[in-house]
Structure 1
Amino acid sequence: MTLASVRHRWAGFLGTFAALLLGVAVISGSLALWAAAQPRVPDALAATDAVVASPSFDPVEGGFPVYRPWSPDEVSSLVADLGATPGVLAAVPFRTFYVQRLVGGQPAGNPRDSVHSGRAWSSAGLGGYTIRDGKPPADRGEVAVPASAGVPVGSTLPVLTAAGPASWTVTGVFDGEGFYVDEATASELAGGVRVIGVRFEPGAPVRLDAGAAGTMLTGDARSAVEPEQDTRTRWIGAQLIIATVFVGGFVAVFVVSSTCAFAVTSRRRELGLLRAVGATPGQVRRLLLTETVLVALAAGVPGALLGALAAPLLAGPFVAVGLEPTGFTVGVSWWALGVSVLAGLVVATAGVWLSARRAGRVSPLDALREAAAERRPMTKTRWALGSLCVLAGGGLALLLPGSTAQDKPTIVLASAMFLLVAAALLAPVVVVPLVRLTPAGRGATGVLVRGAAAVSARRLASVAAPVLAAVGFAVLLVGTFQTASEAVDIEDARAIPAASVAAGVAGAPGLSEAAVSAQTGRSELPSVAYLPSGESIPVSGVPDFSGFSVPSVLGFPVGSEVALRFADGVVVPLRVTGSSDSVLLPRDLVRRHDPTAMAQVVHLSDAFVPSPGAVAMTARAYVEREAASENDLVNLFLAVLLGISVGYTGLAVANTVLMATYGRRQELATLRRTGATTDQTARFVVVESLLAVTLGVLLGLAVAVPALFEARAGLQEEVGAPVTLVMPWATLAAVAGACALLATFASLVPFLRRRMLSVGARTMAG
């Protein structure tokens, strides 16, 4: 019976099939990306049998583990002890530093990789690298380069380091990545050592114990020493993947449940006939559940394969936009295929469950009903859930006056989301009054549309609800983000007093010391230091400053002595001389202990002096450029989330309109019998669908726009300056236009199909 029902009503299941197909594809592809995005052993350490990591500490505020660097004496002692262990072939400190190739006087290559692309040749064996042409670098000014660089032996290679520009002579070429120099140069340019690579003699049994000095890692556990920059990049990508899975799953449940609810409403007479011939409520529920499971299996398998095939194509774009580190690849993950198909089944059954329970209570007398008028557009469940969401959204809004400026945007977003759900649930209540206020065409079309809305509010609400959610979601998120960006730009520009600044070019992570020294102006040098507890703290090297100032929250009173460990691992006892918002130290002291530190900006007090890797710009332009790098990622998040939500919304609108039009065949046939032409009937259905889309847009704006004003008020209070409200008109037009086009197309499909069949019949008769 279930198979016969699916075959007979296949058009009614197309929306559910498409929603589940896309949902499973999103989940399958996302899981494949997530599996490939796990930390991996760096290529430069791939040939090690074990690595020793420096002591790690978990930050109090949470986040990634912090690896405290060893001091030079600790490194020498540990290397000697490891090297003396029976069976150990070599124990080598792994030093990295910033270096970028200069092309045309400007840094080239990936700036994220350049932070740790410089290494000492003594550690080349840890990656299994050997010279294939030339010889290893042995003296200052010599370098071995990867074959992919295309630089022959004997060539001069201009580079930029944290110290400044330099010219190195290429003495060797190898297969691999990075720039390898002599030990002395690496020691000068690199910071503290956090990793020691260990290689064993072939076949020799080795028992290593680093004791309290570090952590011994072997096998896949070596991935823990992946560069922090790569780990953070993977984390950003993981957030997008997780958000995609959750949004895709949530919207899929929403679409499937709304589709099934409308389908059950349109099948009341059919279900009443089943009840009249003896079907029990349980049998009706099982029928609907089994139908959906069959559709879920039919959609889940190809959907999982589609996602698995699409995921590898996203590896390149993920690396290009900074969501994954260089070398990221995606393979086939069989467990992801199985989990995604299972997730599709769960989503399908969750979406149809409430509708199936309601269908089991259909009375046999409903089989005798011929009228299409709805007896009760609002069920008790919709009233209850809608009222709860109104109370939740209103209650959060009442918290705004007493909340802090930082908490207001979060409260506004949460309140608006509850109210959007409430508006979707309570839409049938306001449909009829809104229809009376909304122009729906002149003459007979307008009369018919208003009359149909009065007796079929639930049908219009079913089309308006997904539009409402998409418009509200898009306007709220995009508008809040763009308004917040304006506020951040105002605040950051105000924090930079100079009219013009010198900053690193877009392809470099900062300014070299040579570029800073060439300018006339003030510049702080950011670095990191470690408290005696092991906790890391950001520090700033301030010019013409001779003290040691710390925030009071650290608990070090003025006059106390603190043993501060710097980025090179050296511990220096310092006496606290004052209190400030951040940790301030003399700039020369920070530079002496952190050769990898790079200033971000110089506040110019004189004309800009050209220097490799540096560029002059206004303070406002610098703030906008820095914000743009973060905005690009946020825009990508928004694009993915909105793409999924709007795509599903369009699917829900098209499917609901298509099912409604097919289900109204008798009503439309009656119109034809009373004199309406096919074009007039089609116009009536299209206008009614567009009216539903218009109602959804208006209801979505009614919730989102006040929330935007509240969010702007919170931002103004936070930055202490007027903030312009940014209304995302382009996003609104795109979402509303897409929904309108899909609704129009879905309304016309039955008429186009009938016209094609009629033309075919006349052709055959001729």
Structure 2
Amino acid sequence: MSLSMIRYRWSLFLGTFVALFLGVAVLSGSLSVWAAAQPRVPDALAGAPVIVAAPRFDPPDGGFPTYRPWSAQELDRLTTALSRVPGVAAAVPDRPFYVQRLVDGRPVGDRRDALHSGRPWAEARLRPLGLTSGAAPSEPGEVVVDAALGVPVGGTVAVVTAAGPATWTVTGTADRAGFYVADATADALAGGPRFIALGLAPGADAAEVAGRLPAVLGDLGTALTGDARGAAEPEADRSTRWIGAQLIIAVVFVGTFVSIFVVASTCAFSATQRRRELGLLRAVGATPGQVRRMLLAEALLVGVGAGVPGALAGAGLAPLLAGPFVATGLEPGGFRVGFTWWAPLVAVGVGLVVAAAGVWLSARRAARVPALEALRVAAAEPRPMTLARWLTGGGAVLSGGGLALLLPGASAEQKPTIVLGSAMVLLVGAALLAPVFVVPLVRLVTWPARRGATGLLVREGARVSARRVGSTAAPVLAAVGFAVLLVGTFQTADEATGIEDTARIPESAVAARADNVPGLSEAAVRAQPGRSELASTVYLASGEPLDAVGTASADVVAPAGRGWKVGEPVALRFADGAVEPVTVTSLAAQDWVSLPRDLVRRHDPAALTDVVYLAGGFVQSPGAIVMTARSYVEREAAEEGDLIDLFLRVLLGISVGFTGLAVANTLLMATNARRPEFVTLHRAGATTGQTLRVVVSEALLSVLMGSLLGLAVAVPALFESRAGLQEEIGSAVTLVMPWGTLAAVVSVCAGLAVLAASLPLLRPGAGGSPARTMAG
């Protein structure tokens, strides 16, 4: 029976089908990308079946684990001991370092890949290079390069490293990207190693070798095999993958949430439209349980029919996302997406759950209506608000208002988060209570047009059909409020960040890294007349990492909340693994430790400098450019802003797309269900154009209602968010109202609403006028 009902009344299920198809496709594609985005073993270490990791520190707040570097003494002891383990053929410390090729004095290539494009030749033993010509490097200044660079053996290649520009002699060319140098050269340019790759003897089993290592390593390391070797991935790549993972998680969350919202609203409205039909079933003996099972079976059949092709489409299109993910900085170079068998299965399963969840409440409500009551009120719209909707909507409003009451006692840093959370909860409450606000808003908005025939019909029709108007306005409300709130908040925060960062940079000009360079070399910094800070990392005795900044001052300024005392020596492990005590000279309210620059550089040869605050003229250096302080701040903010904009575009695209689908489907079902009404209008003398104007006006009125309600929640929240930002930075902040985003969202919703409402009236038919066609 459920299958026959779907075939006979397919238009009622079209919106649910499309919503589930798109939702499952998004989920399947996102899961496929997520599966491919897991940490992977660096190509240079892929030939090592076992990798030994240095002692690991897991942050209490659940952030990234970190591995502190070994000292030179620890490393010598470990490599010697590991080389003697049965089955181990070689123990090679992992020493990647920064290097970029110079062309006409300018660094070229991707700045993220450049951070670890330099490698010691010893690592080639783990995954043998295909030397196309020449021999291995053996002396300082010698290198094996990618044959694709076109530099012949015996030629030279100009490069820049963390130390500065250099010219290396090419001793060989290979079939792999990167710069492979003599081991001594890598030791001088890289920081302390945190991983040791083990090459195994022929026939040795990785699991057996790993099982022998705990007795050798003690508390100095852990053996990693299989996928766990992905821990050796460079930190820059790991951070990039994390950013991509956040987008994938957000897409899955928003896509699933909006899918449930659309399916639930579609099913609820569909059940309302079918009250006469359900009443007839009850009248001929159908029990409430049978009605519920029928509606649930319909939803599951639609879920299977939409979910299977949707899952396959999502998984099939997922590989196309690899290029854009890399280009936008969401995944590191070399990222590929393959077919993951479990992603479509999970997506189909979630689609069925979404379909069942979306229809369950409306099925229970429809099944509880007595047969005679359903038949009696079938011609008139039932009360727009059920008790469950009153309770849920009222609870959301109270919860959102309760969060807003926390603002007076919150800190400046906490206020934007509280405002955002409160507004999101209030948007949900407003969407649920939309039918309550429809009637007074309709009367207010349509007051000037109350005397015309079209205005009167629209006004009274909307007033007595609050549920229909509310069902259309609710998704528009959510989309407009969500878009204005998120985009406005982030754009206002960007404005505040620019003001705050500029205030911290008093110099009129700075020497900054070029766009495709990760940082300035030591030679570039030394050439500039000005002040700079060298960023590095030090490690406490527990292994906890602590940001360190090298300055021109000889003072050691420690963060004030860690219990350190002035005049007290503190043992720090530096980036090269060496442990050295420093004496605290002062304390400050900061999260990092300030150290003498020469001390930081001595222990971290791989450190790069972001900017030099110029006190004189700029000196041309490879990778360095000159710009104003404001331009530098804007560029740094723009790099983060580009990622935020990408997140917003994706999330808004999904939410607005599903919102448009909900609006279109609701109006399409409503217009089809109003055939008797349009026939009556036609018999009373209304022309097709007049009927069309009524329908279009009602659709636009619903979109206007939703837009006004969404703005009523989002705009006050934006003002509160701006107030919190002003308090945080102590300066005036301009409120950024995203008019362009608002216009785009409203236009999309209005266009789809007009199209969906008009389409049933414009279908050609044998009877001539659309009204006669509908009557037939």
Contact 1:26 1:245 in 2 (8 A): yes
Structure 1 residues 72, 368: CA separation in 2 closer, same or farther (over 3 Å shift)?
closer
Residue correspondence of structure 1 range 571-610 to structure 2 within 5 A? 571-580=579-588, 581=590, 582-610=592-620
Cα distance, 1:308 vs structure 2: 0.3
Structure 1 residues 248, 668: CA separation in 2 closer, same or farther (over 3 Å shift)?
same
Residue correspondence of structure 1 range 241-640 to structure 2 within 5 A? 241-366=248-373, 368-369=375-376, 372-439=379-446, 443-543=452-552, 545-580=553-588, 581=590, 582-640=592-650
Paired residue type of 1:263: S
TM-score by length of structure 2 reads: 0.96
Deviations 1:475-529 (A, max 9, x none): 0000000000101111111111111100000101111111111110111111111
Paired residue type of 2:83: G
Q: Report what 1:178 is aligned to.
A: 178
Measure, in 2, the Cα distance between the counterparts of 1:33 and 1:629.
23
Paired residue type of 2:23: G
Measure, in 2, the Cα distance between the counterparts of 1:47 and 1:324.
23
Q: Report what 2:71 is aligned to.
A: 71
Kindly, what percent of the aligned residue pairs are identical?
Answer: 65
Paired residue type of 2:486: L
Q: What SS class does the counterpart of residue 343 from structure 1 fall into? A: helix
Paired residue type of 1:609: V
Measure, in 1, the Cα distance between the counterparts of 2:581 and 2:180.
34
Q: Report what 2:699 is aligned to.
A: 689
Measure, in 2, the Cα distance between the counterparts of 1:130 and 1:120.
16
Contact 1:269 1:366 in 2 (8 A): no
Cα distance, 1:411 vs structure 2: 0.9
Deviations 1:211-255 (A, max 9, x none): 222111223222121111111111111111111111100000000
Cα distance, 1:132 vs structure 2: 2.2
Paired residue type of 1:605: A
Contact 1:289 1:356 in 2 (8 A): yes
TM-score by length of structure 1 reads: 0.97
Deviations 1:448-481 (A, max 9, x none): 0011012111100110000000000000000000
Q: Report what 2:23 is aligned to.
A: 23
Q: Where does structure 2 lack aligned partners over 5 or more consecutive residues?
A: none
Contact 1:285 1:360 in 2 (8 A): yes
Cα distance, 1:118 vs structure 2: 0.7
Q: Does 1:723 align with 2:740?
A: no
Structure 1 residues 3, 86: CA separation in 2 closer, same or farther (over 3 Å shift)?
closer
Q: Report what 1:215 is aligned to.
A: 222
Deviations 1:397-439 (A, max 9, x none): 1111111111111111111112111111111111111111114
Q: What SS class does the counterpart of residue 564 from structure 2 fall into? A: coil
Cα distance, 1:640 vs structure 2: 1.0
Q: What SS class does the counterpart of residue 233 from structure 1 fall into? A: helix
Contact 2:275 2:375 in 1 (8 A): no
Contact 2:146 2:176 in 1 (8 A): yes
Measure, in 1, the Cα distance between the counterparts of 2:223 and 2:25.
40
Contact 1:276 1:367 in 2 (8 A): no
Which range is displaced more, 434-443 or 652-661?
434-443
Structure 1 residues 352, 27: CA separation in 2 closer, same or farther (over 3 Å shift)?
same
Q: What SS class does the counterpart of residue 219 from structure 2 fall into? A: helix
Measure, in 1, the Cα distance between the counterparts of 2:766 and 2:742.
35
Contact 1:59 1:536 in 2 (8 A): no
Measure, in 1, the Cα distance between the counterparts of 2:232 and 2:241.
14
Contact 2:132 2:147 in 1 (8 A): no
Which range is displaced more, 590-599 or 131-140?
131-140
Cα distance, 1:46 vs structure 2: 0.9
Q: Does 1:82 align with 2:82?
A: yes
Measure, in 1, the Cα distance between the counterparts of 2:88 and 2:282.
80
Paired residue type of 1:364: A
Measure, in 1, the Cα distance between the counterparts of 2:603 and 2:717.
49
- Could you say what the CA RMSD is over the residues aligned between the two structures, in angstroms? 1.6
Measure, in 2, the Cα distance between the counterparts of 1:251 and 1:230.
31
How many residue pairs align between the two structures? 760
Paired residue type of 1:393: G
Cα distance, 1:758 vs structure 2: 4.3
Measure, in 2, the Cα distance between the counterparts of 1:122 and 1:363.
81
Measure, in 1, the Cα distance between the counterparts of 2:243 and 2:84.
41
Which range is displaced more, 719-728 or 160-169?
160-169
Residue correspondence of structure 1 range 225-240 to structure 2 within 5 A? 225-240=232-247
Structure 1 residues 344, 757: CA separation in 2 closer, same or farther (over 3 Å shift)?
farther
Measure, in 2, the Cα distance between the counterparts of 1:183 and 1:754.
79
Measure, in 1, the Cα distance between the counterparts of 2:217 and 2:422.
53
Cα distance, 1:368 vs structure 2: 3.8
Paired residue type of 2:671: T
Contact 2:688 2:769 in 1 (8 A): no
Cα distance, 1:756 vs structure 2: 7.8
Paired residue type of 1:725: L
Measure, in 1, the Cα distance between the counterparts of 2:740 and 2:683.
44
Which range is displaced more, 200-209 or 450-459?
200-209
Cα distance, 1:367 vs structure 2: 5.3
Q: Report what 2:754 is aligned to.
A: 744
Cα distance, 1:9 vs structure 2: 0.7
Deviations 1:69-123 (A, max 9, x none): 1111211121111223333221112211100112232221111111111111122
Cα distance, 1:734 vs structure 2: 0.3
Contact 1:46 1:128 in 2 (8 A): no
Structure 1 residues 93, 731: CA separation in 2 closer, same or farther (over 3 Å shift)?
same
Measure, in 2, the Cα distance between the counterparts of 1:291 and 1:371.
22
Measure, in 2, the Cα distance between the counterparts of 1:464 and 1:18.
20
Q: Report what 2:160 is aligned to.
A: 160
Q: What SS class does the counterpart of residue 40 from structure 1 fall into? A: coil
Q: Where does structure 1 lack aligned partners over 5 or more consecutive residues?
A: none
Q: Does 1:658 align with 2:675?
A: no
Measure, in 2, the Cα distance between the counterparts of 1:446 and 1:613.
66
Structure 1 residues 123, 678: CA separation in 2 closer, same or farther (over 3 Å shift)?
same
Measure, in 2, the Cα distance between the counterparts of 1:743 and 1:326.
43
Measure, in 2, the Cα distance between the counterparts of 1:341 and 1:368.
37
Contact 1:124 1:130 in 2 (8 A): no
Contact 1:449 1:687 in 2 (8 A): yes
Which range is displaced more, 410-419 or 81-90?
81-90
Cα distance, 1:372 vs structure 2: 4.0
Paired residue type of 1:463: T
Deviations 1:158-214 (A, max 9, x none): 111111111212221112232111122111111101111111221246544322221
Cα distance, 1:303 vs structure 2: 0.3
Q: What SS class does the counterpart of residue 360 from structure 1 fall into? A: helix
Paired residue type of 1:16: T
Deviations 1:361-402 (A, max 9, x none): 222224544774324121111111111111111111111111
Cα distance, 1:575 vs structure 2: 1.7
Measure, in 1, the Cα distance between the counterparts of 2:76 and 2:130.
25
